[in-house]
């Protein structure tokens, strides 16, 4: 089946929430401890949309199989040309090229918004994500040791950057 990328719609939030909560409970891709509620996720996405940041979804057979977005990297005015992104695929859809389609579209959108650089913050154990980002021109620019604590152990954050 064909996978298509399109802008997020509010109706996509529940399907996105399932992907997010799977990652919260089963991985170090998100440093949250507790699953998010639908109401909480709607507030998070509403804030991004109001600030002019894109949220996109990957659709297969009219089902959300992945999503991505970017938003502010830090909250000081001088950082306004730098964004931090997130890309996720449904666990049953990993390996179908969904992440590739999403990251390519996010890079395209960021360039269209005349942004200067895109940041990814990745858990150091997530070598598949680090390798994935390298394929799209991201470089490791930092390692923040013991920046998170989850699953009864300290986690390190790898900072990756792509100049747009």
Does residue 1 register a pLDDT over 90? no
pLDDT digits (tens, 9 = 90+) for 23-74: 999 999 999 999 999 999 999 999 999 999 999 999 999 999 999 999 999 9
Instruction: Name which residue leads in pLDDT, 93 or 157.
Output: 157
Q: Read out DSSP for 101-137?
A: HHHHHHHHHHHHTT--EEEEEEETT-HHHHHHHHHTT
- The average pLDDT across 3-14 equals 97
Q: How far is CA 57 from CA 60, 85, 124, 126, 141, in A?
A: 10, 14, 26, 22, 28
pLDDT of residue 72: 96
Q: Is the pLDDT of residue 107 over 80?
A: yes
* C-alpha–C-alpha distance, residues 124 and 144, integer Å: 9
Q: Using pLDDT thresholds of 50, 70 and 90, give the confidence band for residue 88.
A: very high
3-state DSSP call for residue 58?
A: strand
Q: What is the mean pLDDT of residues 4-19?
A: 97
Q: Is the pTM of this model over 0.85?
A: yes
- The single-letter DSSP state of residue 37 is P
Kindly report, residue by residue over 116-161, the tens digit of the pLDDT.
999 999 999 999 999 999 999 999 999 999 999 999 999 999 999 9
pLDDT at 21 over 90: yes
Q: Does residue 99 have a pLDDT over 80?
A: yes
């Amino acid at each position: 089946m064909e996978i298509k990328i399109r802008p997020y719609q509010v109706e996509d939030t529940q399907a996105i929430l399932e992907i997010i909560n799977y990652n919260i409970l089963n991985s170090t891709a998100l440093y949250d401890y507790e699953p998010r509620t639908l109401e909480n996720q709607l507030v998070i996405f509403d804030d991004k949309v109001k600030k002019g940041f894109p949220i996109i979804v990957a659709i297969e057979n009219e089902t959300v199989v992945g999503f991505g977005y970017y938003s502010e990297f830090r909250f000081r005015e001088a950082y306004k040309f730098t964004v931090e992104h997130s890309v996720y695929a449904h666990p049953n859809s990993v390996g179908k090229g969904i992440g590739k389609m999403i990251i390519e579209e996010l890079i395209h959108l960021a360039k269209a918004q005349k942004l200067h650089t895109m940041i990814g913050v990745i858990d150091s154990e997530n070598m598949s994500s680090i390798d994935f980002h390298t394929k799209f021109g991201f470089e490791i620019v930092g390692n923040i040791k013991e920046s998170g604590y989850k699953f009864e152990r300290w986690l390190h954050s790898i900072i990756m950057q792509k100049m747009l």
